[in-house]
Structure 1
């Protein structure tokens, strides 16, 4: 498996977007990508991060979480199905 950072095909900035709207927008953006493509999503840390990451993992996607500045995270999501 490669250790190189993925090159996202699309990016979303959903900081300040409430749940579940941030999950819905992430899922819709992911559905537009080809299988194997990556989506980068910037979110507020805490509940938004947990809801979006867990929801997409439950849907069968691969999710990496990176910390940004305090209170913010970046999800790198690979579309697997």
Structure 2
């Protein structure tokens, strides 16, 4: 998904659930519909819960990409 430019980025690697979703939700609320948010998070519970939670909140997960080490990047479109 390298061709998608994110409008905003957030690093939530220092947070655990449910704060990973809370931080992401607060960031998305400040964005306009159609804008793209890039979220850096850790594998495990945050990676399994965050994509599902943001989709249940009405947004679109465009991609989930593996990064170096135990980190991942979730690309979300604000709807």
Cα distance change of structure 1 residues 36 and 70 upon mapping to structure 2, 3 Å threshold: same
2:17 aligns with: 19
Residue 59 (structure 1) shift? 1.3
Q: CA deviation at 1:70?
A: 2.8
Q: Which residue number corresponds to residue 43 of structure 1?
A: 41
Q: 1:53 to 1:29 in 2, by over 3 A?
A: same
Normalising by structure 1, report the TM-score: 0.88
Aligned residues: 78
Distance 2:67 2:42 in 1: 10
Aligned partner of 2:66 in structure 1 is 67
Dislocated runs of 4+, deviation >3 Å: none
Give SS of 1:24's match.
helix
